[in-house]
């Protein structure tokens, strides 16, 4: 019998300020409200300045020091960068910073409401050089429209890159965005002293002899694209009649992956069991979020009846993709026996 083990999202201990323990929240996009109440999170209402992909935190810390009147939000996917920047926040006792473990797409589409940000900073994003990986670039039309939607009128968008091809691509994309106006004399400048600090990657680029490209845009009064906040769906829940034992269901499982509607990718990774239930380890990638969790197939008191639902392992959020995966898993369960049928179903198909 295989044992299910899942990584814990809470990363490490509370931060210590002046020898007094303060529970600085370890924030993950899967555990925050969609959209997030930033005033409640910071304990005050203030302009929100967002840095996407803050790396080792040099620019984020500069923002926090130079804008004590603002709430500074940093989003990063790399745990090492998160932990190092958290330690720097601890050393400097900066209380106007919140660090969030998330992708940019999840941050913009799930956590930030329209017209909620005063500025967005993007410093030296991964260029994803290979053509096959170009869809992973941050500067994409859909993501830029989400940024525009989340910026307040008068809010600013800053971009810095040391890759000429990435700069040219971004310049074309930004110039074709009517909601943004360029505040520079050209598409970009190669120096921007008012930034006030250089990042690790910026210094590395300059030392290597590469030219940096800086963009400064302002959100104007032109109507924003309609990019609604993506909220939680109801929890999926299915009860089936299936004349098989748990052992027989367990034996039928095969690892598989498939692409469902709307670009939802699902990978059923493995299956685990105890005397009364099965855990099906699942990875789902949607356009705005990735999740790694488990579905639960539990025996009910009535003979040959099972409940399919989300396990609490991994803190899954019931998104559209999760419902599509639940529907696909239900179909697999029904395919195991000709007399299998659905008794109760709460799964959204669209």
Model confidence at 128, in pLDDT bands (50, 70, 90)? low
Phi-psi region of 249 (alpha: psi -120 to 50; beta: other; left: phi over 0): alpha
Which stretches within 141-239 are classed as H helix?
Answer: 141-150, 164-175, 200-207
Domain spans, the chain: 15-219, 237-346
With pLDDT > 90 as the criterion, what percentage of the chain qualifies?
85
Predicted pLDDT at 349: 72
71-76 vs 48-52, strand pairing mode: parallel
Average pLDDT, the chain: 91
β-sheet bridge partners, residue 284: 266, 291
| Structure tokens, 200 | 């690790």
Per-residue pLDDT, 25? 61
Give pLDDT, residue 90: 87
Superfamily of domain 15-219: Vaccinia Virus protein VP39 (3.40.50.150)
338: Cβ contacts below 8 Å, ≥ 6 apart: none
For residue 165, the model assigns a pLDDT of 94
List the structure tokens of 85.
Answer: 């920047």
SS in 3 state form for 7-51? CCCCCCCCEEECCEEECCCCEEHHHCCCCCCHHHHHCCCCCEEEE
* Mean pLDDT, residues 198-207: 91
Establish whether 226 is a catalytic residue: no
Q: Is 55 in contact with 199 (CB distance < 8 Å)?
A: yes
Query: 150 with 115: CB under 8 angstroms?
Result: yes
What is the percent of the chain with per-residue pLDDT over 70, rounded to a whole number?
Answer: 91
Q: What is the mean pLDDT of residues 181-195?
A: 96
Grouping H, G, I as helix, E, B as strand and the rest as coil, residue 126 is coil
Sorted by sequence, the CB contacts under 8 Å of residue 310 that are 6+ apart come out as 235, 236, 293, 294, 295, 296, 316, 318, 322, 326
DSSP structure class, residue 189: B
Q: Is the pLDDT of residue 132 over 90?
A: no
The pLDDT tens digits of the residues spanning 271-299 come to: 999 999 999 999 999 999 999 999 999 99
pLDDT band at 127 (very low <50, low <70, confident <90, very high): confident
Cβ atoms of 50 and 73 closer than 8 Å: yes
Both tokens assigned to 300: 């009910």
Region 319-340 average pLDDT: 97
Using only C-alpha atoms, the chain has a radius of gyration, in whole angstroms, of 23
Residue 6 clears pLDDT 90, i.e. is over it = no
CA–CA distance, 95 with 78 (Å, rounded to integer)? 22
User: By C-alpha distance, which of 95, 108, 123 is closest to 24?
Assistant: 95
pLDDT one-digit tens code per residue, 57-109:
999 999 999 999 999 999 999 999 999 999 999 899 999 999 999 999 999 99
Active-site residue identified among 126, 162, 226, 331: 126
Per-residue model confidence as pLDDT tens digits over 8-65: 333 333 434 344 434 456 799 999 999 999 999 999 999 999 999 999 999 999 999 9
Segment 233-272, tens digit of pLDDT = 999 999 999 999 999 999 999 999 999 988 899 999 999 9
């Amino acid at each position: 019998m295989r044992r299910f083990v899942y990584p814990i999202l809470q990363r490490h201990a509370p931060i210590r300020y002046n020898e007094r323990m303060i529970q600085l929240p370890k924030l993950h996009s899967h555990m925050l409200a969609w959209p997030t109440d930033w005033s409640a999170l910071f304990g005050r209402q203030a302009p929100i300045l967002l840095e996407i992909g803050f790396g080792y935190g040099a620019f984020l810390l500069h923002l926090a020091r130079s804008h004590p009147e603002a709430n500074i939000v940093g989003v990063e996917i790399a745990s090492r960068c998160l932990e190092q920047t958290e330690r720097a926040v601890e050393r400097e006792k900066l209380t106007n910073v919140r660090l969030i473990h998330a992708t940019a797409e999840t941050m913009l589409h799930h956590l930030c409401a329209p017209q909620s940000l005063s500025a967005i900073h993007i410093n030296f994003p991964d260029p994803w050089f290979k053509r096959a990986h170009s869809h992973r670039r941050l500067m994409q039309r859909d993501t830029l429209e989400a940024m525009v939607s989340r910026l307040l009128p008068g809010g600013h968008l800053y971009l810095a890159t040391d890759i000429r091809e990435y700069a040219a691509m971004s310049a074309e994309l930004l110039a074709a965005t009517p909601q943004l106006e360029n505040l520079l004399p050209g598409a970009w400048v190669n120096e921007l002293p008012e930034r006030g600090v250089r990042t690790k990657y910026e210094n590395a680029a300059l030392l290597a002899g590469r030219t940096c490209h800086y963009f400064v845009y302002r959100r104007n009064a032109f109507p924003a694209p309609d990019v609604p906040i993506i909220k939680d769906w109801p929890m999926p829940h299915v009860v089936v009649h299936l004349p098989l034992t748990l052992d027989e269901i367990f034996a039928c499982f095969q690892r598989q992956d498939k692409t469902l509607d709307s670009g939802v990718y699902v990978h059923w990774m493995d299956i685990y069991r105890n005397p009364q239930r099965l855990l099906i380890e699942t990875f789902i990638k949607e356009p705005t979020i990735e999740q790694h969790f488990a579905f639960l197939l539990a025996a009910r008191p009535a003979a040959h009846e099972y409940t399919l639902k989300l396990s609490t392992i991994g803190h899954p959020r019931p998104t559209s993709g999760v419902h599509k995966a639940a529907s696909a898993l239900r179909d697999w369960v029904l395919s195991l026996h000709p007399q299998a049928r659905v008794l109760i179903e709460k799964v959204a198909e669209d």
